[in-house]
Amino acid sequence: MDDSTPSLDAPATPMDSPEPSATPEPGAAPAPGSNHVHRSAKHRILGGVAGGLGERFGLDPNLVRIGFVLLTIAWGFGILLYLAMWALIPRDPTQPWTRDRDDVPEEKSSRWVNAGLLAALAVVAVIALTTFTNHPFGHGPAVGRDLFFLWIIFLAVMAVIALRSPSRGRSLRRAFSVFVLAGLSMVILVSGGILAFLASTGVPMTGGNGARIWYPTTLSDVHHTYRTEFGAMTVDLRGVKFPASGYRVTASVAIGNLTVEVPPNAVIDLHTHIGAGNLWTGRFMANGFETAGFNPNPLSLTGAALARAPHLTLNAEVGIGHINLWRGYGPIQ
Q: Can you give the pLDDT at residue 110?
A: 60
Q: Can you give the pLDDT at residue 296?
A: 86
Residue 18 lies in a domain: no
> Are 189 and 145 found together in one domain?
yes
**How many Å apart are CA 212 and CA 251, to the nearest integer?**
12
> Are 172 and 225 found together in one domain?
no
Q: Can you give the pLDDT at residue 314?
A: 95
Secondary structure of residue 204 in the 3-state scheme:
coil
Q: Can you give the pLDDT at residue 237?
A: 93
Q: Which residues of the chain have pLDDT under 70?
A: 1-35, 74-76, 97-111, 132-140, 161-174, 286, 330-333
> Are 294 and 224 found together in one domain?
yes
Residue 68 lies in a domain: yes
Q: Are strands 267-285 and 288-291 parallel, antiparallel or unpaired?
A: antiparallel
Residue 144 and residue 192 in contact, taking contact as beta carbons nearer than 8 Å: yes
Residue 93 lies in a domain: yes
Among residues 77, 98, 119, which one ends one of the domains? Answer: 98
> Are 220 and 314 found together in one domain?
yes
Among residues 166, 201, 236, which one ends one of the domains? Answer: 201
> Are 316 and 228 found together in one domain?
yes
Number of domains in the chain: 3
Residue 223 lies in a domain: yes
pTM: 0.59
Q: Can you give the pLDDT at residue 214?
A: 94
Q: Can you give the pLDDT at residue 14?
A: 47
Residue 169 and residue 104 in contact, taking contact as beta carbons nearer than 8 Å: yes
> Are 225 and 267 found together in one domain?
yes
Residue 26 lies in a domain: no
> Which secondary structure element, helix H or strand E, spans residue 70, and what is its range?
helix 61-74
Residue 186 lies in a domain: yes
> Are 179 and 248 found together in one domain?
no
**How many Å apart are CA 244 and CA 16, to the nearest integer?**
115
The predicted-structure confidence for 22-42, as pLDDT tens digits, reads as follows 444 544 545 554 567 888 888
> Are 320 and 223 found together in one domain?
yes
Q: Can you give the pLDDT at residue 184?
A: 82
What residue numbers bound the domain in which 60 lies?
33-98
> Are 216 and 192 found together in one domain?
no
> Are 118 and 42 found together in one domain?
no
> Are 155 and 253 found together in one domain?
no
Task: Return the sign of the alpha-carbon dihedral for residues 47, 53, 55, 58.
Answer: negative
- Beta strands of the chain (E only): which ranges? 209-214, 225-236, 247-262, 267-285, 288-291, 311-327
> Are 192 and 136 found together in one domain?
yes
The predicted-structure confidence for 152-174, as pLDDT tens digits, reads as follows 888 777 777 666 655 555 556 66
Residue 11 lies in a domain: no
Output phi, psi for 279, to 5 deg. -110, 120
Beta bridge partners of 267: 311
Among residues 153, 170, 201, which one ends one of the domains? Answer: 201
Residue 139 lies in a domain: yes
